[in-house]
């Protein structure tokens, strides 16, 4: 709907307009804000095909929501390697650790041992985040792919270890930590000492990638030592923000004293969470995705994300300006070799690539940093941060490739990231990191390829780079006319 009347900006109009026109007016104004797609830092998905607003307050009053909840849970856990009978959905990795702690305390008390001296500990890679329980952080390095190394982790395990946290998809670099090799070492440790140490898998991102893209990878309940897994539906589960899941192997691994029994309005509910009233739309959205996409749908999205991530990795590497830290664009057989000596490849079968999340982690080459000390970031939002403890001197950038990243978006991003002449010039003119030159707009440049500043940027990109881009076999359903960027 359109209107020929002029709408005053600072005065209440005497007559109203059609609701569709009012919506479009507000939509167009808000469209000038920052674009979600321009935020390449976040794992959180911001697009959905449906909008659901039911409030998930009482199972009895909202029976249909409860049914969708249970069916979504069942579909979720079936992809974690086992058809479970005890499930619930909660967004915190800490819940898995809390259950481990209670079980450890019960075993210590049964054996007549103290639960206070020296106290419980939990082992995890230094790329993990805080969990309040005597953390034993295993140092990471380039040799360990910036994540937990099983043999190093075993040096931190003892009778007071309540469990080991393993991350399936590091938020730093996207690497999968090796769950099965660690499980095998813990099996050997138990055989020698009699000490049982369970594993919790933090699959916040990877648990919605691995089951579909790497179905033969053993990381889940196929390994008896894995007792709990958490994941985020609002990441690669493709729901709006607010959907988190944790599943336990069985009731024995979730102590009863942690369960709240709620008697309210004639019904009894059991809960292991901190909030009573919570929105239903993330749960229903997850169920919708399972039904609408199916296994093959999730697989195709995952394969597309990884293909685009490999494309970006190789393009950044070939530009000569960046050192790519992540490894999903490299051969499995090249793992262990120096990244300076091993480049990404584009002619492999999918199974021959290194496994991981569709994440691109990279940093400037030393030579380029010395030549261009004043660079600005334009077009997109990319985080710059230090690697985990023991690697703090290394700063990297990270791009999370989500389903919403179209081929056009990739080209636009790469023109910004591989145009140092333009970026250095604007930086030398006095703009700070992330600042917008006067008269320019990052959002406009990002959302509309026909803006002049994008063309100026694109013209400075070597034609060799676009020649590589055009020849890549990994662009999925691309209809980008790359010639118009030269």
Helices (H), 93-251: 93-110, 150-154, 179-193, 210-213
pLDDT in tens, 39-48: 777 777 666 5
Checking if the pLDDT of 86 tops 80, the result is no
What total of structural domains would you count in the chain? 2
pLDDT of residue 325: 92
pLDDT of residue 417: 65
Whether 105 and 149 map to the same domain: the answer is: yes
Whether 70 and 110 map to the same domain: the answer is: yes
Helices (H), 238-336: 281-319
CA geometry: angle 359, 81, 236, nearest 5 deg: 25
pLDDT of residue 373: 65
**CA pair distance 151, 361, nearest whole angstrom:** 25
pLDDT confidence tier of residue 447, bands split at 50, 70 and 90: very low
Q: What's the Rg (C-alpha) of the chain?
A: 25
Residue range 416-432: average pLDDT? 48
361 near 327, Cβ under 8 Å? no
- Write down which residue in 401, 432, 459 finishes a domain: 401
> Is residue 434 one of the residues assigned to a domain?
no
64 or 194, greater pLDDT: 194
pLDDT in tens, 273-312: 666 666 777 887 888 788 788 888 899 999 999 999 998 9
Whether 10 and 43 map to the same domain: the answer is: no
Checking if the pLDDT of 128 tops 50, the result is no
**What is the spatial order of strands in the sheet that 244-248 belongs to?**
87-88, 244-248, 226-232, 199-202, 161-167, 121-125, 135-138
Both structure tokens of 127:
């790329």
Whether 19 and 47 map to the same domain: the answer is: no
Whether 313 and 339 map to the same domain: the answer is: yes
Residue range 366-389: average pLDDT? 73
pLDDT in tens, 463-486: 333 333 333 333 333 333 333 332
- Write down which residue in 401, 418, 445 finishes a domain: 401
> Is residue 422 one of the residues assigned to a domain?
no
> Is residue 466 one of the residues assigned to a domain?
no
Whether 18 and 79 map to the same domain: the answer is: no
Least confident of 79-83, 133-137, 188-192, 205-209: 79-83
pLDDT of residue 78: 58
Whether 43 and 27 map to the same domain: the answer is: no
pLDDT of residue 62: 44
Whether 26 and 114 map to the same domain: the answer is: no
**CA pair distance 134, 243, nearest whole angstrom:** 28
Q: Which residues contact 319 (CB under 8 A, 6 or more apart)?
A: 417, 418, 462, 465
- Write down which residue in 374, 401, 428 finishes a domain: 401
> Is residue 456 one of the residues assigned to a domain?
no
The parent domain of residue 25 ranges over 1-31
């Amino acid at each position: 709907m359109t209107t020929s009347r002029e709408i005053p900006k600072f005065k209440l109009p005497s007559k109203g307009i059609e609701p569709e026109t009012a919506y479009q007016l507000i939509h167009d104004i808000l469209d000038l804000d920052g674009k979600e797609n321009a935020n390449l830092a976040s794992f959180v998905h911001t697009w959905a095909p449906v909008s659901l607003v039911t409030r998930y307050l009482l199972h009895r009053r909202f029976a249909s929501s409860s049914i969708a909840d249970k069916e979504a849970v069942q579909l979720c856990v079936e992809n974690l390697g086992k058809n479970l009978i005890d499930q619930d959905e909660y967004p915190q990795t800490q819940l898995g650790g809390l259950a481990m702690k209670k079980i450890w305390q019960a075993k210590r008390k049964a054996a007549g041992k103290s639960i206070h001296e020296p106290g419980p500990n939990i082992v995890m890679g230094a790329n993990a985040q805080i969990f309040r329980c005597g953390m034993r952080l295993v140092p990471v390095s380039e040799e360990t792919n910036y994540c937990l190394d099983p043999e190093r982790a075993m040096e931190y395990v003892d009778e007071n270890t309540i469990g080991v946290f393993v991350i399936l998809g590091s938020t730093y670099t996207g690497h999968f930590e090796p769950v099965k090799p660690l499980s095998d070492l813990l099996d050997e440790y138990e055989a020698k000492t009699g000490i049982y140490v369970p594993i919790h898998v933090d699959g916040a991102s990877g648990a919605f990638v691995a089951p579909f893209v790497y179905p033969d990878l053993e990381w889940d309940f196929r390994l008896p030592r894995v007792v709990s897994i958490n994941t985020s539906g609002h990441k690669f589960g493709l729901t709006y923000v607010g959907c988190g899941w944790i599943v336990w192997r069985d009731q024995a691994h979730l102590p009863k004293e942690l369960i709240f029994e709620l008697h309210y309005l004639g019904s009894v509910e059991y809960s292991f969470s901190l909030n009573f009233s919570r929105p239903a739309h993330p749960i229903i959205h997850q169920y919708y995705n399972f039904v609408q996409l199916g296994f093959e749908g999730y697989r195709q999205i995952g394969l597309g994300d990884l293909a685009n991530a490999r494309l970006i990795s190789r393009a950044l590497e070939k530009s000569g300006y960046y050192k790519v830290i992540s490894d999903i664009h490299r051969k499995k057989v090249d793992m262990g070799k120096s990244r300076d000596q091993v480049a990404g490849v584009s002619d492999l079968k999918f199974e021959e690539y290194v496994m991981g999340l569709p994440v691109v982690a990279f940093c400037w080459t030393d030579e380029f940093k010395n030549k261009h000390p004043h660079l600005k970031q334009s077009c997109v939002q990319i985080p710059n941060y230090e690697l985990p403890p023991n690697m703090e001197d290394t700063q990297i950038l990270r791009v999370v490739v989500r389903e919403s990243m179209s081929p056009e978006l990739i080209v636009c991003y790469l023109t910004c990231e591989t145009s140092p002449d333009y970026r250095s010039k604007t930086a030398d003119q006095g703009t700070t990191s992330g600042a917008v030159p006067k008269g320019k707009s990052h959002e406009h440049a990002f959302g509309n390829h026909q803006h002049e500043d994008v063309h100026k940027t694109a013209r400075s990109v070597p034609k060799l780079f676009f020649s590589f881009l055009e020849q890549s076999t990994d662009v999925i359903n691309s209809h980008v006319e790359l010639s118009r960027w030269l």
